[in-house]
Amino acid sequence: MSPFENRNPEIYTVSALTEEIKGLLEDHFDFVWVEGEISNFRAPFSGHYYMVLKDERSQIRTVMFRAQARDLKFVPEDGMKVICMGRIGLYQPRGEYQIVLDYLEPLGIGALALAFEQLKRKLAAQGLFDPEIKRSLPFLPQRVAVITSPTGAAIRDFLKVIHRRFANIEIVIVPVKVQGSEAAGEMVSALELINRELDVDVIVLTRGGGSLEDLWAFNDEKLAHAIRASRIPVVSAVGHEIDVTISDMAADVRAPTPSAAAEILVQEKESLEVKIGEIRERLLSSLDNLFLSLNQSLAFLSKGLVDPRRRITDTWFHLEELGTRLMRVMNSRVHERKKQLISENRALFLKSPLHLCEALGQKISYQKQALCFFVTDRLKERRTACNLLEEKVRALSPLAVLKRGYSITRKLPEKKILRDVKSVEEEDRVDVTLAEGTLECRIERVVNK
């Protein structure tokens, strides 16, 4: 029968179908173990880890929430093969199924070993392990601070070697936990406390051997930074010789065992006494040889020593001769200098400002007289020229013409000068200007109009 022949089919909404699929998946797959390769790994600010697990043919989305991710000892990376355990879930808004992870570990290598390698690469890139920044230990430190468990075998071995080799060194024990989740924080606080309040020469960070999990507190990133931030040199002696931790790499000096740390810090008292005795014998022998050599030199020099009074007499005669020669040279130099001074004095007088001023004054006086003569002659010439011009002006003046019998006639009332009879009529009034005086007339008759 065709499905379309069913008259009353069950019709799901998208949400209802997704909910039913979600229930089937979660009921059928409670917890599953999955092996695969990580790709598209993301770690946003929320603290959750998002990634895709894939093999040659398929892939599936996974998520590890912050609470579970915080307990991981390593950081997942793309391309890492892992084995994980989680629950199948379906994200309804997108209709995608995924694995919600509770556990994750690398395949083929332990999680702690991987975390150790990742942290080692990170701190090495930051320069915390560079040999150039490591400090040297003081010779025979007077006070040593030991950060360790006060009940462990490490402190007993350390103190045993110290008391055997040099018992008068002061040891300050700062008790901390050396194993567990709180151990790293306590060791960081102990380092800060010693640097802040204790006056010691060296800090020793130590504990006995154990598994990688037992020593994990010494692989803490904050502890490595605290070791490098210490102003006091730090010796790290963790576990046995084959055990290597991050604190060993960050410390200024790494000791393979707690006992070796004590041997590095102090030398045996007896050995030092023997070395001091050998140095003392060599010093006394050198002094004896030096005194013998000085006595021989003194004997040799005393043979060639003469009476100092003779040397003094000869020296006085020589000084007197040198004094006489010096006086002659000085008198000669003084005479030459006097002659030179007289010559320079004459030259200075000739070039003195007073002499130059006097010469310039005479020159100015002469030039002043010449200038006065020149101005006087020029004024006379200008006066003569002016008189001639004045005579010419008088000769050309209209008044001079009037004196020769001429007159100037103007028509009244506009006083327009008349040059012919055409400009006037009978009975017009005119003004006649003579050389002396003026006539006012009336025209009675016009001739030749």
- Per-residue pLDDT at 4 exceeds 60: no
pLDDT band at 234 (very low <50, low <70, confident <90, very high): very high
Q: What percent of the chain has pLDDT over 90?
A: 9
The reply to whether CATH 2.40.50.140 applies to domain 14-108 is: yes
Q: What is the pairing mode between strands 202-207 and 253-254?
A: unpaired
- Per-residue pLDDT at 105 exceeds 60: yes
- Per-residue pLDDT at 10 exceeds 80: no
- Per-residue pLDDT at 26 exceeds 80: no
Chain segment 306-320, per-residue pLDDT in tens: 666 667 777 777 887
- At 83 the pLDDT is 83
Chain segment 70-88, per-residue pLDDT in tens: 878 778 888 788 888 888 8
pLDDT band at 424 (very low <50, low <70, confident <90, very high): confident
Q: How far apart are CA 429 and CA 444, in angstroms?
A: 10
H or E stretch at 377:
helix 353-396
Chain segment 155-208, per-residue pLDDT in tens: 888 888 888 877 678 889 999 998 888 888 999 999 999 999 989 999 999 988
Structure token pair of residue 226: 């605290």
- Per-residue pLDDT at 362 exceeds 60: yes
Model-level pTM? 0.45
Q: What percent of the chain has pLDDT over 70?
A: 93
Q: How far apart are CA 375 and CA 395, in angstroms?
A: 30
Strands (E), 107-160: 143-148
Q: Which of 6 and 183 is assigned the larger pLDDT?
A: 183
Which CATH superfamily groups domain 117-130+142-270?
Answer: Succinyl-CoA synthetase domains (3.40.50.261)
Q: Which of 394 and 135 is assigned the larger pLDDT?
A: 135
Structure token pair of residue 359: 């010469």
b/e code 169-192 from CB counts within 10 Å (16+ = b): bebebbebbbbeeebbebbbebbe
- Per-residue pLDDT at 20 exceeds 80: no
H or E stretch at 271:
helix 269-303
Half-sphere exposure of 104 (CA within 13 A, CB side): 31
The amino acid present at 107, given as its one-letter code, is L
Q: Which of 84 and 15 is assigned the larger pLDDT?
A: 84
Summarize the confidence of residues 328-351 as an average pLDDT: 85
Summarize the confidence of residues 214-231 as an average pLDDT: 88
212 Cβ neighbours under 8 A, 6+ residues apart: 110, 112, 113, 116
Cα angle: 381, vertex 385, 388; to 5 degrees: 145
Q: How far apart are CA 251 and CA 230, in angstroms?
A: 10
Q: Which of 381 and 10 is assigned the larger pLDDT?
A: 381
pLDDT band at 300 (very low <50, low <70, confident <90, very high): confident
- At 449 the pLDDT is 56
pLDDT band at 268 (very low <50, low <70, confident <90, very high): low
- At 410 the pLDDT is 86
- Per-residue pLDDT at 398 exceeds 70: yes
When the pLDDT of each residue in the chain is averaged and rounded to a whole number, the result is: 83
H or E stretch at 322:
helix 308-350
